[in-house]
Each structure stands twice: as C-alpha cells, then as structure tokens.
Chains A and B, each alone.
Chain A
Amino acid sequence: MKPAPILLSTAFLHPAGQALPEPLLALRKQRGAALVDMPMPTRKTENWKYSSKYLKLTDEMAISLPTEGKTGSALAVPGYKVVFINGVVVPEASEYPDLDNILIQRFGDLSDAEASELAERLDSTLDAKAVQFAGLNSARFEDGLIIRLKPGAVLDQPLFIIHEVTADASGSAFPRIFVDAGPNSQITLVEEYISSGQESVFVNSVTEFVLAEGANVTNIRLSMDGDTVQHIGATGVTQQRSSRFESHCVGFGGPLRRHDLRVRLEGKGAECKLNGVVVTQGTQHYDNHTTIEHVSPNCNSEETYRNIATDKSHVVFNGRIHIHPDAQKSYANMHNKNLLLSTGAEIDTKPELEIYADDVKCAHGATIGQLDEESLFYLISRGIGRREANVLLTLAFINELVAQIPVDAVKDTVQIRLNQFFDQVFLEG
C-alpha cells in the first residue's frame, strides 16, 4: 500500500490581516480551499527532486509575522522605493513616483471594482499545478502592490521594492506584487529580499508581470535573505506582441531557496532575456526553475544562468523551453555554466527542450567545472597572489552577467556581497 502523502499543514491555511477589499478576501479564501489537500513535495515530486529535503516547515512558522510597529532597517536606497516589512507595505518608508500615468497602489487601497478586476487577473501568469506554492501566497497575502502603467507610460528611474522580513520570532510572510504594463510602457523594477533576526521564518513571495503590446519591463531580483529564512518565490510573466522582458536574478544561498520564473511569450515578436547568478557556500541551497513558453511565432528568448557552489552547498538549475506548435520562427538560446569550488559541493543542472514546431532555432548547453589550473598558474606566475588569482577567476565566471545589471546601485550591492563571499571562501596566503 502506498503511504499517504504528507499534506501541507492546515496551520498554513489561516490568513491574517482582514484589511483587504472583499473580492480579494474572497479570492484568498478560494485559493486556501484549493490547498486543503496539497501534498508537500518529496524527492519523488519531479520539480522538487533535489530540493524537497531542504524544505522544513513547522507549524510555528505558519503564523504571519507581526507587522505592527515594525520599521525594518534603514535603507539608503536612492529614488523611488516601496518598503515591505513582513509582506506588508510600510507607506512612511516608501517613496512613490508622482506621475499621472503610473499608478501604484496597495491592495488594501483598491476600490471594490478595482479589487474585483485584480482578483480576476491574479495568478493568471502562473500555472497553479506547476508552481504549487504560488497558490499558498494567494491564500495568505495580507497586502500587496499593484503597479499599473498606462499606455506609453515610462518610469524615468528604477523602482526599488525592498522586501524585508524581521525574523525575531518564527513565522511567515507573503509578499505580493502585480505589475500591469500597458502598451509601450516601460519600467525597471528592482526587488530586493533581505532579512534581519535569527529565528526560522518562511517567505513565500509572488511577483507577476503582464506585458501588453510593446511594453518593455526590466526586473532585477536580488535574493539576499539571511541564514534562517526559507524562501519559496515565484515570478510569472506574460508577454503580448513585440513586448520585451529582461530579468536579472542574483541569489545567495540559504537553508532553502527556490525561485520559479515562468515566462509566456504569447504575442508575435515578443522577446525575453533571462540572466541568473547564484552563489552558495556552507550548507546552503539554491534552486532555480525557469520555464519559457514560446506560444506565438517569431519570439526570441535568451537565457544565461551561472552558478557557483563551494563547501557543501547545493545548487539546482532546471531550465525548460517549450516551443508550441504555432510558434514557428522561434529563437531560443539557453546556457547554464556551473563552477564548483570544492569537492563537497553539488550542482544539479537540467536543461529541458520541448519543441513542437519545425521551423525553429534552439540551442542549449550546460557545463560544470572547476577553476582552471592553467589559468591560475598563468596569473600567479605574474606575481598575483593565490587568493587574488582565485578571486579574479571566480569573478570572471560571472562578471559578464553582473556587468549587464542595468542599475549601478544593485551592481554595487552585489559586489559588496561577493567580496564577503570571497573573504570567507578564499583565505589569505
């Protein structure tokens, strides 16, 4: 007899925060009801094969983290920003752009009519079966941000969204963002996930982008939660004709890190570029699952992920490209390179190509390697110290991707964090 599956604890199905318009409360309830029989992933769950063992949710972590009186750490981010603490927007710490054609609202501030329209569209970019935990976010979000760009609206500088969790007690947070990018609009959105405190917490985030014809969206996702945070996040994207989506996901490891990025190229001539960098150490984990669906003809996708793992850490990359029968003249290119800095580290990579159209150009490649001894010898034979040579070569592995991040403040943050990593991993001498 097959053992009964372990289900998601019902403790997780009690949302807090009732300050939402009725249509959104109804949506939450409906999504929650759908999760009553949700089995927890095991190693036999295909898309959690390598990561299920890192997911350790306890009932103590089911409670929503308190938001009252939390101000978070002072963040000196220049320009437009929205600060979420424990999944709830802190208006006094935020700085919204003052533009007529870009509306940024908290879910709680929506009229019933607006909320009802939003409820129709939430989750539309994510396949509930493939991304089970996105449904949990929909059942639990207490707040959220909807960003609406009217036709032709252009945000003149990046909008930073800082998601901080205060892990002073066990609990969870469910940050939610919905971006409605109208025709020919443009925005650069930076999501930065950070935490303070040392208790075990669970972050379950979802960000959705709906790109209308000709919209141009750049999303930078910086995953820098602390060592006690398990984070399951999802980003869903749908793209209409000639729209462009560019994503830069930079992640540092933790006890559990999972990010699902799903892009659907629904309109002719849409294109996306997905870059990813993951760095793990100690016993950390990071799992990126990406899916690009070429639904319409003449769409381009370009994906480059690079992972670095050291000590006994574990990185997973699963990149799937699905070319639908009508998607003739698709161009899809996916590359994943991996660098193991120690023998105890593990990287599992799996590119998946499913092609149902005959006139397409697709390429994929994955490599796993170590630092090149010959290159190392070349550098030190010029008087460069071993530590510095190791740093130069490791940086070289991801430099190209870091250099492409279009926001300098983010690049600086990444560089500082990388320097910490190098200080810990490559010792003097």
Chain B
Amino acid sequence: MNLELRELYQTMIIDHGRKPRNFHKMDNATHVLEGFNPLCGDKLTLYLNVNNNTIKEVSFEGSGCAISMASASLMSEHLREKKVADAEKVFHDFHELVTNDDANINMDELGKLTVLAGVKEFPARVKCATLAWHTLHSALHGEHEPITTE
C-alpha cells in the first residue's frame, strides 16, 4: 500500500467517516446552514448552538465520502466550547493544513484535526475536507442560503 494513500485513509478517518460523531439534527440550534459540493454531490446540514460568543454545540447531518464526513465529525468535536473568534482561527489554520505545504500553524492546537493533513497530497479531495469548514465559516457570518464549494 502506497504511503500517501495510507496517510489519507488513516484509521481515525475511516472510523469517523463511517461512524461520524454528533451526527444528528439539533432542535435548539442558533445557526443552521446547508453546504453542498456540486462536483461530487457531498452535502451536509450544519447546526450550531452559539451562546454568548461561545459555540456550545455542533452537529450535522448529510452524506458524502469518508474524507468529508470525517472532517465534519472531527470539526464538530473540536469546536465545542470554543469562542467564535477562536473557531475562525481554527478555520483558517485547518485550511492552511490541507492546502499549504509550508503552513505556519500550530499543529498542537489543531489536535486530532491534523490527521487530515494527508489531504494536501490529493488536490481533488481538498474540497471534500473543507466543505464542513466553509459551511461553518458562512454560518458564523450569518448566511442563510446554502453554500457550495464551487
């Protein structure tokens, strides 16, 4: 098995892809937004409960490849109890992680999210990994229309 491929499909990604965490509708959501990747058909609905500038809870529903589901699942765990401003920084750092070889980011802060670093060797799959994050970014900016990665 090729190393790059093994790096992309690590056990944690396959696990989160097949059994995504926080995979449900949220009744008390303060933000709800749909994200769609028209190229491959990945879609998700993101739910946030934001209170006093803190993300209290994140959940999502949808369907897509292992990379997009795992990314959304890991994001939902990572952002819990984060300040909105900090979440925006994570959005930026995560984007750097999956697109930039010379990214100047603090890997420790990203925690488990770093398992997705292998995506940058697969340019066609970057959109899968960032769909949930773009949806988050737009939701926090008060958008209501479904977003696409195109």
Verify that A and B bind, or say they do not.
Answer: no
